[in-house]
């Protein structure tokens, strides 16, 4: 179809375009490579089947905004389809050979798929353009108080406009080109219904006009792609390539909240945490290129939802916009204010919801490591908790000699009294020292004793796991506590560990393996279900109507994917469970995680715990059930402020009340 001169022009233009695209891509690769750590390419091979399924299904996108996600899905599926279509069109331009017309049933089906996807792409792009530029939903940007690169506020809209115009034009002209081809042949193609319908528009044109139409459409269709390629490396739509790489190459983690190990015995370490972008892991820098700028992470962030200046989306976008114009030497506090850093509850909602696998929470916790370890710049309210963990191995600063006072009058065997238990119960600091949480420990002890479980506790040998210290950036405190606890646990050699705190569960299960401690760890609601299922405890249903809504602890439901056990335990106790709108892995935070328990909440329009309690109250339940001592404290405070009409109880308390 192309003349010799045109073939030369197109070839040269493509080579020039690819050269500048290559320059842009190598810049990105260099920036990613400046981050910490090394890429393990073998991981990608193991993940290939799962990665392929994700790319085909676009499953991560559909967890929020279903209809909008469907439109994005059509564009994504169309993009994958058009990779072959565009290649065949280039071949046609140079050889006049239509590849897909000579491939039998495969070619037929592929032409049908391309025809349908072509229309789906255009309809979806128009719909999304109307949404973004006319309807202007507020969640596609961020509040003025949030730090966002000034170029980003207009740049995101401008970038989307360029991409939409480019690919709409490409798609429209490609289908037009094919319709002119059919018109020249004087027939329609049953495998291309939309293109065939368009070809009828040109049926009355003379052959020369039809040929010129095909020729022009071919040049516009592929020309805009060639022209766009160098810009692609600067566009947010690089996520089309970096999202799959993100899923393929992310370091393996036992949960979304598992933090990287720092060996504080290594005296050669000079930098803790992230002071500048190059201190981040390579995968954290790549996050900014994988980011879709969809603001889903912001939409589920409890801090942003309660009016604070933290936006995980703004952090990723700021990283990206700085990388466009500079390097990775920028200070992290130029990308996110310290106030926003300390507003994070480490709930993991941003990581869980991200459709491309980004981890803004990890950036924030790395910044905290730097602020706490290198600058001693942390909220002063945390000092008491730090001192408590350093001096008395618990943030409440209660003497270890008082660690077993909660069990006064209850038969609770220690490891000295029962050296080979089937279950080692890790009581946790809150159930051992906090007056309200102690009732949870007492209720669980009652359940274990009623079931005749062979268990023991560490008693005065149990220390804080160090979760709060680690989430506040104090790796030194965490390292000491973790090393001490692992040494004790390895001496005990527990068959199984049960915890009454999801934060303890998460730390022992997911973070202690880096210290040489590998254990089977379960939550107390899981053990309760086992005991009910085995018939070891009998529960009686009372005449009292118990309408319960369960608040999923972030470190149980989202970080460790356990959402059924608490609900099953409540149902066994005869409770009518009513779900809050945000539940299970999408639960809203109580506000205490990420060391927030020990400090004042940052300024905003509402408190996180009051926001969550209002949601619980709206269900009409008369009891809020929890499975975490932090959640228990936060929900109890909210209930008291509401007049105390709604009870707040741990699942263990509800079950213990109904023991026969």
Q: What DSSP string describes 217-253?
A: HHHHHHHHHHHHHHHHTTSGGGHHHHHHHHHHHSPP-
Calpha distance 278→330 (Å, rounded): 8
Compute the average pLDDT of residues 50-54.
89
Q: What pLDDT, on the 0 to 100 scale, is given for residue 63?
A: 86
CB within 8 Å of 601: residues ≥ 6 apart? 343, 591, 607, 608
Q: Which of 72-86, 419-433, 580-594 has the lowest mean pLDDT?
A: 72-86
pLDDT bucket at 56, cuts 50 / 70 / 90: confident
Calpha distance 241→306 (Å, rounded): 34
> What letters, b where the CB count within 10 A reaches 16 and e where it falls short, cover 282-291?
bbbbbbbbbb
pLDDT bucket at 54, cuts 50 / 70 / 90: confident
Compute the average pLDDT of residues 94-106.
92
Pick from 580, 547, 576, 546: which is nearest to 563 by CA?
580
Pick from 502, 557, 505: which is nearest to 348 by CA?
557
Higher pLDDT: 395 or 325? It is 395
Other Cβ atoms within 10 Å of 331 Cβ, number: 13
Pick from 255, 369, 246, 358: which is nearest to 312 by CA?
358
Q: Is residue 545 over pLDDT 90?
A: no
Q: What pLDDT, on the 0 to 100 scale, is given for residue 543?
A: 60
Q: What pLDDT, on the 0 to 100 scale, is given for residue 619?
A: 97
Q: List C-alpha distances in Å: 145 to 148, 351, 622.
A: 9, 23, 38
Calpha distance 623→633 (Å, rounded): 14
| Whether 233 contacts 27, CB under 8 Å | yes
Q: What pLDDT, on the 0 to 100 scale, is given for residue 255?
A: 95
Let me know the angle formed at the C-alpha of 274 by 389 and 61, rounded to the nearest 5 degrees.
Answer: 100
Compute the average pLDDT of residues 524-539.
96
- Over the stretch 197-217, which tens digit does the pLDDT of each residue have? 999 999 999 999 999 999 999
Calpha distance 483→506 (Å, rounded): 16
Q: Is residue 230 over pLDDT 80?
A: yes
Residues β-bridged to residue 57: none
Q: Which of 5-9, 98-102, 633-637 has the lowest mean pLDDT?
A: 98-102
Phi (first) and psi of residue 549, to 5 degrees = -115, 130
CATH number 3.40.50.10700 given to 539-657: yes
Q: Return the CATH fold of 279-373.
A: Fumarate Reductase Iron-sulfur Protein; Chain B, domain 2 (1.10.1060)
Calpha distance 112→116 (Å, rounded): 6
Calpha distance 629→264 (Å, rounded): 30
CB within 8 Å of 269: residues ≥ 6 apart? 262, 263
Give me the architecture of the 382-532 domain, per CATH: 3-Layer(aba) Sandwich (3.40)
Phi-psi region of 493 (alpha: psi -120 to 50; beta: other; left: phi over 0): left
pTM higher than 0.85: yes
pLDDT averaged over the chain?
95
Pick from 254, 264, 279: which is nearest to 475 by CA?
264
Q: What pLDDT, on the 0 to 100 scale, is given for residue 60?
A: 83
pLDDT bucket at 492, cuts 50 / 70 / 90: very high
- Over the stretch 337-376, which tens digit does the pLDDT of each residue have? 999 999 999 999 999 999 999 999 999 999 999 999 999 9
Pick from 28, 36, 630, 602: which is nearest to 370 by CA?
36
Compute the average pLDDT of residues 249-265.
94
Compute the average pLDDT of residues 429-436.
95
Calpha distance 201→135 (Å, rounded): 34
At 423 the three-state DSSP class reads: strand
Calpha distance 277→241 (Å, rounded): 22
Compute the average pLDDT of residues 45-54.
91
Calpha distance 239→292 (Å, rounded): 6
Angle between helices 207-232 and 150-185 (to 10 degrees): 150
Percentage of the chain surpassing pLDDT 90? 91
Pick from 167, 246, 177, 184: which is nearest to 217 by CA?
177
> What letters, b where the CB count within 10 A reaches 16 and e where it falls short, cover 605-644?
eebbbbbbbebbbebebbbbbbbbbbbbbbbbbbbeeeee
Q: Is residue 542 over pLDDT 80?
A: no
Token code pair at residue 660: 């026969």
Residues β-bridged to residue 649: 625
Calpha distance 608→622 (Å, rounded): 20
Pick from 638, 629, 602: which is nearest to 396 by CA?
629
């Amino acid at each position: 179809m192309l003349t010799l001169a045109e073939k030369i022009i197109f070839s040269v233009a493509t080579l020039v375009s690819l050269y500048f695209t290559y320059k842009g891509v190598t810049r990105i690769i260099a920036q990613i490579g400046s981050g910490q750590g090394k890429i393990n390419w073998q991981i990608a091979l193991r993940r290939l089947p799962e990665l392929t399924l994700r790319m085909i299904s676009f499953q991560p996108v559909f967890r929020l905004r279903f209809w909008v996600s469907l439109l994005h899905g059509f564009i994504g599926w169309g993009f994958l389809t058009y990779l072959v279509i565009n290649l065949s069109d280039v071949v046609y331009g140079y050889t006049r050979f239509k590849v897909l017309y000579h491939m039998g049933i495969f070619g037929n089906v592929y032409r049908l798929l391309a025809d349908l996807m072509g229309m789906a792409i255009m309809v979806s792009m128009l719909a999304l353009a109307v949404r973004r530029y006319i309807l202007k939903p507020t969640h596609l940007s961020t509040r003025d108080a949030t730090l966002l690169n000034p170029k980003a506020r207009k740049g995101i809209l401008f970038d989307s406009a360029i991409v939409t115009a480019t690919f709409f034009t490409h798609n429209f002209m490609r289908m037009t080109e094919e319709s002119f081809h059919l018109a020249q042949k004087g027939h329609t193609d049953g495998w291309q219904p939309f293109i065939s319908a368009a070809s009828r528009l040109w049926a009355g044109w003379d052959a020369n006009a039809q040929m010129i139409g095909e020729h022009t459409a071919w040049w516009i269709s592929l020309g805009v792609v060639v022209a766009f390629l160098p810009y692609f490396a600067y566009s947010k739509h690089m996520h089309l390539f970096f999202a799959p790489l993100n899923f393929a190459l992310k370091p393996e983690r036992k949960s979304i909240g598992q933090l990287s190990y720092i060996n504080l015995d290594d005296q050669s370490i000079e930098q803790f945490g992230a002071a500048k972008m190059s201190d981040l892991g390579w995968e954290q820098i790549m996050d900014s290129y994988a980011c879709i700028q969809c603001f889903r992470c912001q939409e589920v962030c409890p801090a942003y939802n309660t009016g604070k200046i933290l936006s995980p989306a703004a952090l990723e976008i700021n990283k990206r916009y700085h990388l466009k114009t500079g390097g990775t030497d920028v200070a992290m506090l130029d990308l996110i204010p310290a106030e926003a850093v300390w507003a994070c509850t480490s709930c993991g909602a941003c990581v869980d919801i991200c459709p491309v696998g980004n981890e803004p929470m990890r950036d924030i916790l790395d910044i905290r490591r730097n602020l706490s370890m290198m600058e001693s710049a942390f909220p002063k309210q945390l000092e008491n908790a730090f001192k408590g963990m350093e001096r008395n191995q618990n943030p409440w600063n209660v003497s270890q000699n008082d660690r077993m006072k909660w069990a006064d009058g209850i038969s609770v065997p220690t490891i000295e009294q029962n050296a080979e238990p089937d279950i080692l119960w890790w009581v946790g600091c809150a159930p051992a020292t906090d007056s309200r949480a102690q009732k949870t420990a007492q209720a669980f002890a009652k359940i274990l004793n009623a079931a005749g479980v062979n268990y023991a506790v560490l008693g005065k040998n149990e220390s804080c796991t160090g979760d709060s210290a680690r989430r506040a950036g104090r790796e030194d405190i965490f390292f000491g506590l973790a090393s001490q606890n692992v040494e004790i646990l390895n001496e005990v050699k527990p068959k199984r560990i049960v915890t009454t705190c999801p934060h303890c569960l998460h730390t022992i299960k997911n973070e202690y393996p880096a210290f040489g401690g590998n254990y089977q760890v379960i939550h107390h609601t899981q053990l309760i279900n086992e005991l009910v299922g085995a018939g070891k405890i009998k529960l009686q249903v009372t005449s009292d109507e118990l309408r319960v809504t369960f608040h999923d602890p972030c470190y149980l439901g989202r970080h460790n994917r356990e959402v059924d056990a608490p609900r099953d335990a409540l149902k066994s106790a005869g409770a009518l469970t009513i779900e809050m709108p945000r539940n299970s892995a999408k639960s809203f935070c109580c506000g205490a995680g990420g060391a927030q328990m020990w400090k004042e909440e940052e300024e905003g329009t509402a408190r996180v715990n009051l926001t969550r309690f209002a949601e619980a109250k709206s269900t009409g339940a008369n009891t809020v059930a929890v499975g975490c001592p932090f959640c228990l404290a936060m929900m109890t405070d909210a209930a008291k402020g509401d007049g105390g009409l709604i009870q707040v109880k741990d699942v263990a308390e509800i079950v213990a009340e109904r023991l026969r």
